[in-house]
Chains A and B, each alone.
Chain A
Amino acid sequence: MQRLAEFGWRLLPFIAAITIWYLVRWSGLVDQGLLPPPHAVFVEIWRRSLDGGFLLDAWMSVRRVLLGLFFGMLLAVPVGFLIGWNRGVRRFVDPLVNFFRALPPIALIPLVIVYLGIGEVAKVAILFYAAFFAGVIVMYEGMSQINPLFVRVARTLGATDWEIFYKVIIPLTIPHVLTATRVALGVAWATLVASELVAAQNGIGAVIQNASAFFQLTTIYAGIVTIGFFALLMDSVLRAITRNFLNWQDRVAQ
């Protein structure tokens, strides 16, 4: 019963959003032809999923996000770690990181097309760029917040540098890795759609782009809802991991 109520609470915001959607449509503030009703959008998702093409598009998008995120974090974790811990490295790398972070990844798309073409590698490269710079900043902000007192205490208990690294630093780093991954995931999704809008034969961004050319508003909405669904799903998985691994923390992400 309690779990049911919990589930209801989680669903409530979405029900509210859909209700508002209906209300806006019925209120006549927007031309009905310009705002498809939610049920038509869900029917569209269902119909396109049944013929298989839509699922393939969704899978292509998810795969690009996961690959970009994976490689981005693979580099962001050690680099963020180094910047957070070594003042010399920080002084050198910090301005560069801030410069490249300020560039929107979308602005690099023309360059990427020139160097890498419009294949999968090009898209993953853009997502890698986006995920890396989003992740690295969170990582090193987190690392610089680690309380040096714990290192001192470990020393007084007889730990060597290496033991301090894997018994103190690693456990304290994991929360920041997870937070950085969540932030990078959000940025990766935002960038994905942009990169697919520009140049792609498949993927949900491409579906939206094609539908736009034919003024198929329902399909555009179906694509947007699907992206939101997958982004939320992946974020929920990360939060569940956070909860299970970090139940020692005072403030556990809900």
Chain B
Amino acid sequence: MNASASFQLCEPAASAHSPDVKVQFRDVYKTYGRIEVVHGVSFDINEGDFISLVGPSGCGKTTMMNMLAGFTEPDRGEVLLEGNRVTGPGPDRGVMFQDYGVFPWLTVEQNIRFGLDLRVKRGMSKEEKRETVEKYIALMRLGDFRDAWPKNLSGGMRQRLALARAYAANPHFLLMDEPFGALDAQTRSAMHDLLLGIMQSERKTALLITHSVEEAIYLSNRILVISARPSRVVEEIRVPFSDQRDRELLDTHEFIEMRRHLRDLVMQQYAQQQELR
């Protein structure tokens, strides 16, 4: 277990407000019925962070994301967005879900246009809208499918569409709830590289929920290991690799060591979650 010593462990983030701090979870609690799902969670998200929440399924990670997205509110504590309490969803926070995210009654192009059409009504020029749609259709390589219905797309294409639509609305934050969980391994790693690519050209502050330890390390600069229910932050891990990443990173010694350490932590939580059932 001396591997763990080589990683920088952080205390729960200090709540001193620096301009870089975009999101603050402050001692957040949430209970559904008689089941407590979130228990005293505190952490910050800084400008430009790509932060992953890793932990057992059903442990309350999604609830934490939903609080930031504005879909649900904490029972106690608060979630602050640029210093203000989150009161509801907004176009500054784009969301990607594992399923159902794309609108099945709209074509690929209409899906991407959805958020932009709304912005045109609020003063965006039609020219800019058209350019934005074309840009993301091209970036996500959806050109051949612009008039297709989502039902005719593969899982990978649907998530490319969801990513294109989220980006087209130009949010400041990108919140992702296991967006690649239903994809096969090859499609998943292609999506990883696509996401890293678009993140390099247009950086978003991102929150990713995932089961995959490898995915978390490969994509993020910070990882929070979440405990079995009720959720607490067990450990925060800083990922020391640069933003320029490719598949070769997966075979490096550092990556493998970090993956082993993280997997041990997550497996402990899985074991506890099993005992809870």
Chain B residue nearest to A168 (CB atoms) is: B103
Q: Is the CB of B101 within 8 A of A248?
A: no
- Residues from chain B with a CB closer than 8 A to the CB of A120 are none
Binary flags per residue of B116-143, CB closer than 8 Å to A gives 1, else 0? 0011000000000000000000000000
Q: Is the CB of A152 within 8 A of B151?
A: no
Chain A residue nearest to B150 (CB atoms) is: A248
Q: Is the CB of B165 within 8 A of A157?
A: yes
Q: Which of A150, A155, A168 contacts B100 (CB under 8 A)?
A: A150
A-B contact count (CB 8 A): 61
- Residues from chain A with a CB closer than 8 A to the CB of B197 are none
Chain B residue nearest to A158 (CB atoms) is: B91
- Does A247 make an interface contact (CB < 8 A)? yes
- Does B104 make an interface contact (CB < 8 A)? yes
- Residues from chain A with a CB closer than 8 A to the CB of B90 are 155-156, 158
- Does B209 make an interface contact (CB < 8 A)? no
- Does B69 make an interface contact (CB < 8 A)? yes
Q: Smallest distance from the beta carbon of A51 to chain B beta carbons, Å? A: 49
Q: Which of A157, A171, A250 contacts B91 (CB under 8 A)?
A: A157
Q: A248-B105, A248-B149, A250-B151 are in contact. Are A158 and B100 (CB under 8 A)?
A: no
Q: Is the CB of A156 within 8 A of B103?
A: no
Q: Which of A152, A167, A250 contacts B89 (CB under 8 A)?
A: A152
Q: Which of A113-163 contact B (CB under 8 A)?
A: 147, 149-150, 152-159, 163
- Residues from chain B with a CB closer than 8 A to the CB of A155 are 70, 88-90
Q: Which of A147, A152, A157, A159 has the most CB of B within 10 A?
A: A157
Q: Which of A149, A156, A159, A171 contacts B105 (CB under 8 A)?
A: A171
Q: Is the CB of A247 within 8 A of B69?
A: no
- Residues from chain A with a CB closer than 8 A to the CB of B118 are 157-159, 163
- Residues from chain A with a CB closer than 8 A to the CB of B169 are 156-158
Q: Is the CB of A248 within 8 A of B91?
A: no
Q: Smallest distance from the beta carbon of B194 to chain A beta carbons, Å? A: 20
- Does B7 make an interface contact (CB < 8 A)? no
- Does A172 make an interface contact (CB < 8 A)? yes
- Does A249 make an interface contact (CB < 8 A)? yes
Which 6 A-B residue pairs are closest in the complex by CB-CB distance?
A158-B91, A157-B115, A155-B89, A171-B105, A156-B95, A248-B149
List 5 additional A-B contacts (Cβ < 8 Å) besides A156-B90, A248-B105: A156-B94, A171-B106, A247-B149, A248-B104, A249-B104
- Interface pairs (25), CB distance under 8 Å: A152-B69, A152-B71, A152-B89, A152-B95, A153-B101, A154-B114, A155-B70, A155-B88, A156-B90, A156-B91, A156-B166, A157-B115, A157-B165, A157-B169, A158-B119, A158-B169, A167-B114, A168-B103, A171-B103, A171-B106, A172-B105, A248-B104, A248-B151, A249-B104, A250-B104
Residues on B lying within 8 angstroms of A by beta carbon are 69-71, 88-91, 93-95, 97, 100-101, 103-106, 114-115, 118-119, 149-151, 165-166, 169, 171
